[in-house]
Structure 1
Amino acid sequence: MANRRDNPITRWRMARPRQHHVLLWWSDPSGREVRWNFPLPVRGKVLSSAVELDSNSNSYAADYEGNHYLVFCFNSREAARYFRDRWQGQFIDTDEVNRKGVWTPREGNVCNLYRMLSNQDAIRSITRAMIDSTGNMEPITEFWPDYRAPIVRNTPSGRELAYVRWGLPSSSQAIFQAATKRADGLRKKNKPVDFQELLKMEPDGGTTNVRNVESKHWKRWHGVEFRCVVPFTSFAEPDPANKPEGGRTPNAWFAADPSHPLMFFAGIWVPQWESVRKVKEGLTVNDLFGFLTTEPNGVVEPVHQKAMPAILANSDEIETWLTAPWEEARQLQRPLREDQLILVPTEKDAA
């Protein structure tokens, strides 16, 4: 008789109480030969090291876009962090993998608000943008998802400072799942369903930031022609630890130093994408952008344990991101050094 622990649904339920989940890419079985992340001897070390770090840890399988992953679940945050760093994994939320073992990456839940208090002359100077299509830059101090924001992007005509809508196209899998759910709801009401039309008109509010850059969905935009940098002077993360009783969760703000100098996120932009951003708009065609995220550094992690934006530290890194081959440029998806970022004091702190 099979052990109930071998049942994938049981494993999934058992894993949930362990709140620290680390995901590792394990293999790609889609080709003629299976492509493995680790050679055979190392695979055994990966599995045994999880138990050595936390004797109560367990793991389960997850699949996404034809790739096979393992999710390791820990009671201890310290053990999970050590395991993640050793094997170059990533933290995921406990509900990103469903009962059927399908991983739906939760992109876009990091840094959904930032400020840009600098000016277009400074942006052009640092990024060497030769074209400026922003006109007189609008005096907007805070930027939110699905609104236009200034970026510097590579174009066939040269490097351009332009306003672009924030929120990259979501994956076809996410759109398909949303349309399927909508179709199921209509069928329950005995209403006719044209699934292809539902799929075409399924609203996609966009993905504000990208973590899993090796996903098939994002690989099509690895080229330099789709690279951009996003100027900012500070960015926000929700700060639930300082939420007042009965009040809203405040934001913690991060900047390079108290003067809030100009900095840049490493970004991707997509030209002329047709989609339904909002139901009231219908099908529209937009240039879109988002930026990369990575593991949090020691400044951000006490507030937001999952991730932080990938920040370019200087003009050399900006040039590398905008011009280098992907294998070199992707190395910039890493936490900013702790001495290059501060937690901005609040009025409460000042008091």
Structure 2
Amino acid sequence: MCTLYTVRKTRDEVAQTFRARRPPVEPNLPDDILPGAPGLVVREADGERILQSMVWGFPMRFATMKPGSKPKPVNNIADIAKFPWKPLAQKPQSRCLIPLTSFAEPEGPKGGKTRTWVTIKDQPIAAWAGLWRESDEWGPVYSGVMTDSNDAIRPLHHRMPVLLHPHELDQWLHGSFEDLVAFQQRAFPNELIEITATKDLWVPKKTPTPVSGQS
């Protein structure tokens, strides 16, 4: 599952790519975006696309957690047809686009895994299909929808983000619930996937402490 991605472009470039209005206050975002950290999303309000910073991950508490434990950021959505995702996915106002320039998966033997980066051919800034909502704990939060990996990514992991072609953005934001399910069930073209292995160690990082009130 995707737990690390980047947006190595300026706010102007992201806004222009998605025809979105920039935020009134420029968010200070990390280079490597991890669950619980702030990231950029594109959502619609009053018929206009806006660029906004939110916390990556829906705050959730599980039965196995100790009483009083802080919620965990759930950053990936396995199946939008199941609770609690379906009620959100059915509402266009709860859908969003997650800009990314690349995402990473660990590769190699246990104890020596390295970062392998995945980029999308001819899309310097790609769109990952997502959902968002307001939370009491961290303010606005978002999570990315996952699907079965195509043949190009399967050697790295059996799951991958639901990636959208540029002409599909409006369909994700405004289409029917059945349209969204179809996106999650389709295979993204293998020939559009570019994989770059690195020698950078995949060092597990501590989940950031989410901060509410992102702009």
Conserved? CA contact 1:226–1:269, under 8 Å: yes
Change (3 A) 1:157 1:178: farther
Structure 2 unmatched runs, 5+? 201-215
Give the aligned partner of residue 289 of structure 1: 142
What is the letter of the counterpart of residue 323 of structure 1? H
1:46-57 correspondence to structure 2 within 5 Å: none
Q: CA RMSD in A?
A: 2.3
1:16-62 CA distances to partner (integer Å, 9 max, x unpaired)? xxxxxxxxxxxxxxxxxxxxxxxxxxxxxxxxxxxxxxxxxxxxxxx
**SS of equivalent residue, structure 1 residue 332:** helix
The question of whether the paired residues in 1 share the 8 Å contact of 2:29 and 2:38 is answered with: no
Report the equivalent of 1:341: 193
Shift in Å, 1:160: 1.3
CA distance in 2, matches of 1:127, 1:227: 14
Partner of 2:11: 120
Equivalent positions of 1:26-65 (< 5 A) are none
1:141 to 31, 37, 40: 31
Distance between the aligned counterparts of 2:144 and 2:168, measured in 1? 15
Letter in 1 for 2:64: A
The CA distance in 1 between the partners of 2:132 and 2:46, in whole Å, is 14
- Choose which of 90, 98, 102 in structure 2 pairs with 1:230: 98
Find the residue that maps to 1:255 and give its secondary structure. Answer: strand
User: For 2:54 and 2:188, how far apart are their aligned partners in 1?
Assistant: 25
The whole-number CA distance in structure 1 between the counterparts of 2:35 and 2:24 is: 19
User: Percent of pairs identical after alignment?
Assistant: 23
| Greater percentage in strand | 2
Q: How does 1:293-304 map to 2 (within 5 A)?
A: 293-304=146-157
SS at match of 1:118: coil
1:252 aligns with 2:105: no
- Which digits, 9 at most, give the CA deviation of each residue in 1:228-258, with x for residues without a partner? 001111101121xx237xx44222211124x
Does residue 203 (structure 1) correspond to residue 93 (structure 2)? The answer is no
The one-letter amino acid paired with 2:4 is: L
| CA distance 1:295–1:136, shift in 2 (3 Å) | same
- Tell me the TM-score normalized by structure 1: 0.52
Residue 153 (structure 1) aligned with residue 43 (structure 2): yes
SS in 2 for 1:220: helix
Partner of 2:206: none
Select the structure that is richer in helix.
1
Q: 1:126 to 1:165 in 2, by over 3 A?
A: same
Residues paired across the two proteins, number: 198
The CA deviation at 1:218 is: 1.0
1:318 paired to 2:179: no
Contact 2:114 2:199 in 1 (8 A): no
Describe the SS at the equivalent of 2:72: coil
Separation in structure 2 between the aligned mates of residue 236 and residue 115 of structure 1, nearest angstrom: 9
Query: C-alpha distance in 1, partners of 2:133/2:29?
Result: 25
- CA 1:341–1:207 in 2, change beyond 3 Å: closer, same or farther? same
Select the residue among 162, 182, 187 that pairs with 2:52. 162
Higher relative contact order (CA 8 A, sep 6+): 2
Pairwise CA distance, 1:115:
1.1
Contact 2:115 2:197 in 1 (8 A): no
Paired amino acid for 2:120: A
Residue in 2 that maps onto 1:4: none
Greater gyration radius:
1
Alignment deviations for residues 275-311 of structure 1 (CA, whole Å, 9 cap, x no partner): xxxxxxxxx341110110001011110111x210100
Q: State the alpha-carbon separation in 1 of the partners of residues 81 and 29 from structure 2.
A: 36
| Matched-pair contact (CA < 8 Å) for 1:168–1:206 | yes
Misfit runs of 4+, over 4 Å: none
Question: Contact 1:134–1:163 at 8 Å: present in 2 too?
Answer: no
Residue of structure 2 equivalent to 1:101: none
| Structure 1 residue 152 displacement after superposition | 0.5
Task: Give 3-state SS (helix, strand or coil) of 1:146's partner.
Answer: coil
Tell me the secondary structure at the aligned position of residue 300 of structure 1: coil
